[in-house]
Amino acid sequence: MNEPQTGKKIAQILDQGLDNIRQGTLDRLQSARSASLENYHPAETIVNVGGASVRSGHEWHLKRGRFVSLVSLLLALMGIVYWQSLQGDENEDIDIMLLVDDLPVNAYLDNEFETWLEGS
């Protein structure tokens, strides 16, 4: 017996096994079917204009919702980056003051010790 024949034979036996499914399970399958059919709304999914189909309703709203969420997320990230850049480094102002000042940097380092040396 070749492969397709064996496959078909096994499939036939599997078909016989379908009759052994418990009634409780069959009831649940039936209720699942009924529940899913309640969501049947064909008119909302496609609107046809000539040869081209234009999607509308549910799906379009979903796509727009995703786009708005993405843009909001990007704006929030940009805001965080901008706010962090405004905070800057605490020592940045001191560094600028030291560099711009006329006094050399060394003057700030150990002034009192040099004064003491000169006085002694």
Partner 1 sequence: MIPLLAKQATRKSNSNKAIVLATQQEFSNFLAQIERRAYKQALFAVRDEHLALDIVQESMMKLVEKYAAKPSEELPLLFQRILQNTIRDFYRRQKTRSLWTTLFSSFTSGKENENEDYDFLETLRVESASNPGNPQEKLEQSESIRVIERALSDLPARQREAFLLRYWEDMDVSETAKIMGCSEGSVKTHCSRATHALAIVLSKKGITL
Give contact residues for partner 1 (rule: CB under 8 A).
Answer: 1, 3-4, 6-11, 13-18, 20-22, 25-26, 28-30, 32-33, 35-37, 39-43, 45-46, 48, 50-51, 53
- Residue (19 or 102) nearer to partner 1, CB: 19
CA–CA distance, 29 with 14 (Å, rounded to integer)? 18
- Residue (58 or 110) nearer to partner 1, CB: 58
- Residue (30 or 111) nearer to partner 1, CB: 30
CB of 108 to partner 1, least distance (A): 54
- Residue (26 or 107) nearer to partner 1, CB: 26
Residue 48: phi, psi to the nearest 5?
-100, 130
CB of 27 to partner 1, least distance (A): 10
Burial bucket for residue 53 (CB in 10 Å: 0-12, 13-18, 19+): exposed
Give yes or no for a contact between 47 and 53, defined as CB atoms under 8 angstroms apart.
Answer: yes
Residue-level length of the chain = 120
CB of 73 to partner 1, least distance (A): 24
CB of 67 to partner 1, least distance (A): 19
Give yes or no for a contact between 44 and 58, defined as CB atoms under 8 angstroms apart.
Answer: yes
